[in-house]
Structure 1
Amino acid sequence: MRRRPSPPDGGERPYRAAAARTRLGRMNERLSDRAAAGALRAAVAAPSIHNTQPWRLRFDGAGFDVHADARRALDVIDPDGRALHISIGAAVCNMRVALAAEGWGSRLERPGPSGAEARIVPTACREPSPSMRALAGAIAHRRTNRQPFDDTAVPAVVLDALCRAAAGDGLRLVILDPVRGGAVLALTQAADAVQRADPRYRRELAAWTTDRGERRDGVPVAAFGPRPTTAALPVRDFGLELQRAERDAARFEAHPRLVVLHSRGDGPDRWLDAGQALERVLLTASVHGLATQPMTQALEVPHLRRLLSPPGGHWHPQMILRIGYGHPVAASPRRPLRDVMRSTACAR
């Protein structure tokens, strides 16, 4: 253990006074352009429903404002904006993790000024922990993986780490056993059939899928994943309306491991909290080498979502994830920072 240097002559009080002056000096520091730009880039790297990236960002020198971009809302599967708020929450989480890895705390204000969903204000500097640095390092490597996973079981210690990552005020991650997992898969399959039969859903899905490489949002063909050889795993078919997309069939794991993120209460604030918890889970999974895939169809059909709620009506499902060990996949495209900024500050 490294020893603290001995206090100078005169005892402990001058040493403490000097340390306090050092802390005060760091508190009065301004966030550097490099740290601010890093936080903004981290926000852009967040996951979002159909990779819509439904946020607008602003940095005014004192804090970051995160606005919802209503032009990128999904009116058919997300009419209440639940998934949009979860996506914004994930961006907020990434921004705060990036700031923490640079030694900055952060204060979250909701709602933010001028209609912002949230404002993140950097606070006093502090030494980042190794675990926070690891989470920040995972931001660039986190992926949605729609490929088959191995049949290797996820160790209990890793599942515990995911649950701790999600835990917060009125938030929890539930690990499903095979019986409950099978029931959720059945509901997902039923929801998938309902959605496929809706021409509005098919049009909305087609609007956010593309085989054109120059597009910087939406789900590209390379990220669709193969078609399962069995209907037991209802993976969303992003190529439903894209006839040119040729995809192979593949055998997926026999017993997918599912986890469900719940919040106590249901509404925009809770959805934003759930988005932050979700991203902490996804980053923690990435640190542990896990692949993850959202499976949200059953959450997008109201009467089926209600069936996923535990008795009592206090807890509400916000995300279903398939987790496991899989091969690495490429990142989905992201819009350049200048396209999501409401101000040019730190957009360079």
Structure 2
Amino acid sequence: MSDQLPAKDVDVLLAAAVAAPSMHNTQPWRFEVEGHVIDVYLDGSRTLPAEDPTGRAMRIAAGAATFNLRCAAEGLGYGTWFGLAPYPREEPDLLARIVLEPTAARDEELRDLAVQIPYRHTDRNPSDAIPLTEDVRVRLLRAAYAEGAELTWLGEDDVRAVLDLVLDADLREVHDWQRRAERAHWVGGLRTGDGVPSTALGPRAASYPSAVRDLGTRPTDRSRVERPFEKHPDLAVLSTEFDAPTDQVAAGAALERVLLAATRDGVSASFLNQPLEYDDLRRKVQRLTGAPGHAHMIIRFGHSRSHTGTDRRPVADFLPKEQS
């Protein structure tokens, strides 16, 4: 076995990793490659201090990137061994360490999910009125469980309760200029490489509150076309038993496994996370699941399958200069 991963394999692995979702598409990762070890670090220049002061959303994004990397490794014929947030005190920005070795033993599930990575996009368009089948719900629940998380499907009363919490969160934000300024920095307009361009915002909801998050901050974005969204959305809460940095990175891996499994089933997803940005509302969301733990994502599933994605930066931007 070579002492170093081939450069072409590193490009494939990191291109898959950075295709993962992150809050406002900030892509808050950087990577270091040494031999057959890839370290995933938090990029402190791309955090969101107003909307994500604890860095939880950034750690979730790193977990999602790590899962994509594991899937891509299987596609290239590597087995992976990994540790999440291995040194939380000594190196808090080191969120995952992945060791890759050629192997004849294949994880066919990860290899299959790797095929879905280019097709997974956050979809902020209205879904059709067809609810998810029970088989799909069970498959997505199992996908979360495989990475150590719980996916709880919400009943109609709980969906209404979530929308009430969305309203509460939005009202709190009205006078928070720091949050609005931070979002405007990353969302809207013509963007290449990172952030969320206006073309990916989707239509405005014709009623409020609705099970879609309107990220628009600019006047032109606030005046985009309105469309009705589904009256009975399929919402689920992704949670973990504990809430240490390791658990938050694991939640990101579970999130991406769920999203890729959904993509394979022809199901799209978007996020309704504004209540989770406030500690008291986050606890209320978790209580809706009927189980102890810590909520990390509120996910809306549907069937619209939009192909409007967001760009990513070149792989070289995520590596130290001497490795790029």
Same fold (TM over 0.5): yes
**AA at the equivalent of 1:306:** R
Using the TM superposition, give the Cα deviation of residue 100 of structure 1 relative to its aligned residue in structure 2, in angstroms.
1.5
**AA at the equivalent of 1:159:** R
Q: Is the 8 A contact 2:267 2:305 kept in 1?
A: no
1:111 aligned residue (63, 82, 86): 86
**AA at the equivalent of 1:252:** F
2:124 aligns to what? 146
Residues 313/253 of structure 1: CA separation in 2 closer, same or farther (3 Å cut) = closer
- Counterpart CA distance in 2 for 1:135 and 1:227 is 31
2:205 aligns to what? 228
The answer to whether residue 39 in structure 2 is matched with residue 65 in structure 1 is yes
1:88 aligns to what? 62
2:316 aligned residue (290, 314, 338): 338
The answer to whether residue 188 in structure 2 is matched with residue 210 in structure 1 is yes
- Counterpart CA distance in 2 for 1:116 and 1:45 is 19
Residues 168/134 of structure 1: CA separation in 2 closer, same or farther (3 Å cut) = closer
Q: Where do residues 257-268 of structure 1 align in structure 2 (5 Å cutoff)?
A: 257-268=234-245
1:236-281 CA distances to partner (integer Å, 9 max, x unpaired)?
Answer: 33222x1233410001111111011010111211100000000000
The answer to whether residue 215 in structure 2 is matched with residue 238 in structure 1 is yes
1:167 aligns to what? 145
The answer to whether residue 29 in structure 2 is matched with residue 55 in structure 1 is yes
Residues 169/283 of structure 1: CA separation in 2 closer, same or farther (3 Å cut) = closer
Using the TM superposition, give the Cα deviation of residue 176 of structure 1 relative to its aligned residue in structure 2, in angstroms.
1.1
The answer to whether residue 253 in structure 2 is matched with residue 276 in structure 1 is yes
Q: Is the 8 A contact 1:77 1:301 kept in 2?
A: no
- Counterpart CA distance in 2 for 1:29 and 1:73 is 34
Residues 64/289 of structure 1: CA separation in 2 closer, same or farther (3 Å cut) = same
Q: Is the 8 A contact 2:4 2:34 kept in 1?
A: no
The DSSP-based 3-state class of the residue aligned with 2:100 is strand
Using the TM superposition, give the Cα deviation of residue 302 of structure 1 relative to its aligned residue in structure 2, in angstroms.
1.4
Q: Is the 8 A contact 2:187 2:197 kept in 1?
A: yes
Stretches of structure 2 lacking an aligned partner (at least 5 in a row) = none
Q: Is the 8 A contact 1:105 1:125 kept in 2?
A: yes
Q: Where do residues 5-44 of structure 1 align in structure 2 (5 Å cutoff)?
A: 31-44=5-18
Q: Is the 8 A contact 2:3 2:35 kept in 1?
A: no
The answer to whether residue 175 in structure 2 is matched with residue 197 in structure 1 is yes
- Counterpart CA distance in 2 for 1:39 and 1:190 is 41
Using the TM superposition, give the Cα deviation of residue 231 of structure 1 relative to its aligned residue in structure 2, in angstroms.
0.4
Residues 102/29 of structure 1: CA separation in 2 closer, same or farther (3 Å cut) = farther
Decide which moves more: 47-56 or 231-240.
Answer: 231-240
The two structures have a TM-score, normalised by structure 1, of 0.86
Matched positions, count: 318
**AA at the equivalent of 2:204:** R
* Paired-residue identity, %: 37
The DSSP-based 3-state class of the residue aligned with 2:119 is coil
1:40-61 CA distances to partner (integer Å, 9 max, x unpaired)?
Answer: 1111111000101001112122
Decide which moves more: 176-185 or 293-302.
Answer: 176-185
- Counterpart CA distance in 1 for 2:239 and 2:211 is 21
Q: Is the 8 A contact 2:213 2:271 kept in 1?
A: no
Q: Is the 8 A contact 1:294 1:321 kept in 2?
A: yes
Decide which moves more: 28-37 or 184-193.
Answer: 28-37
The DSSP-based 3-state class of the residue aligned with 2:50 is coil
**AA at the equivalent of 1:253:** E
Larger Rg belongs to: 1
**AA at the equivalent of 1:204:** E
Using the TM superposition, give the Cα deviation of residue 147 of structure 1 relative to its aligned residue in structure 2, in angstroms.
0.5
Stretches of structure 1 lacking an aligned partner (at least 5 in a row) = 1-26
1:5 aligns to what? none
- Counterpart CA distance in 1 for 2:214 and 2:292 is 32
**AA at the equivalent of 1:249:** E
**AA at the equivalent of 1:279:** E
2:134 aligns to what? 156
Q: Is the 8 A contact 1:101 1:128 kept in 2?
A: no
Residues 191/292 of structure 1: CA separation in 2 closer, same or farther (3 Å cut) = same
- Counterpart CA distance in 1 for 2:159 and 2:81 is 37
- Counterpart CA distance in 1 for 2:153 and 2:286 is 14
1:22 aligns to what? none
The two structures have a TM-score, normalised by structure 2, of 0.92
Using the TM superposition, give the Cα deviation of residue 128 of structure 1 relative to its aligned residue in structure 2, in angstroms.
3.4
Structure 1 vs Structure 2 CA RMSD: 2.1
